[in-house]
Amino acid sequence: MTPTAPNKTAIVLIDCPDRKGIVAVVSDFLLRHNANILHADQHQDADLGLFLTRIEWDLSGFDLDAKGFAGKFAPIARRFEMHWRLEFSEVRPRMAIFVSHYDHCLADLLYRRESGELHCEIPLVISNHSDAQRLAEFHRVPFHHIPTGSVSKQNVERKQVALLREHSIGLVVLARYMQILSPQFVRRYPQRIINVHHSFLPAFSGARPYHRAFERGVKLIGATSHYVTEKLDEGPIIEQDVVRISHRDQLQDLIQKGRDIEKAVLSRAVRWHIEHRILVYAKKTVVFD
């Protein structure tokens, strides 16, 4: 299947102190520059006094480019103390996938990219094992094996960062990559590293969560996709899902059911990031419709 490009649209994401008139002023600004608004969603956080919004419009007839938008919008942004960013749907993010032994999330992402569901480029797959090489090559994606066994983390990450720079990567997806990234690595890609954790965080963080869930006799297991921060498994959560289990399910049943959830949760998080639907604030996220 040939991936299909979305309509050419622009998206602005805004967060600022909540006050009257924000929607009216932004809508009027877009109207004055001949924008046809296609989608608009907003959220108020009453506890923090914040207003957050995502507005998407058709670029046909719109009379500002990115530089012109920034210049014209600046007075409004200053007036309302806005943090904002402008994105364009026709730009394909360049995404690198990190993986270890388990390749089910990798397979799902590669298929969704090839089928056109994920509007992005995947120039490379990086792994500390060679298991996923055939899968990557089947999808015609270059595979880079960087072992982590006896090599220092610093040397491993130096090679990884060099590859990411060479391929102009803007998003890193950890598709069951079972290595902890250093704070230095994470700081290079703030809110641009997405991980899937095979547990419904904050329960059973860290290693072997299915084993611990089985020992505890839980009735629900889940998966969590989140942005990576310097604190392990504590980054802003993007998506979660659960499945019910029973006393009849053994450890391998939990693992199999969990893998199905992991794929869905990670792919949704990646798609929402690519479509610029996520705003991070106060250690959590808003995912706009």
Residue 47 bears catalytic tag: no
User: 3-class SS at 29?
Assistant: helix
In eight-state DSSP terms, residue 259 is H
| 171 beta partners | 95
Contact 123, 169 (CB under 8 A): yes
Terminal-to-terminal C-alpha distance of the chain = 26
Please give the Cα distance from 152 to 135 (Å, whole number). Answer: 27
| 225 beta partners | 196, 239
Cα 259 to Cα 93, 164, 279: the distances in Å are 26, 27, 27
In the chain, % helix, strand, coil (3-state, to 5) comes to 35, 30, 40
191, two tokens = 């809110």
Dihedral in degrees, nearest 10, Cα atoms 199, 95, 36, 32? 110
Catalytic residue among 103, 131, 233, 289: 233
Catalytic residues: 233
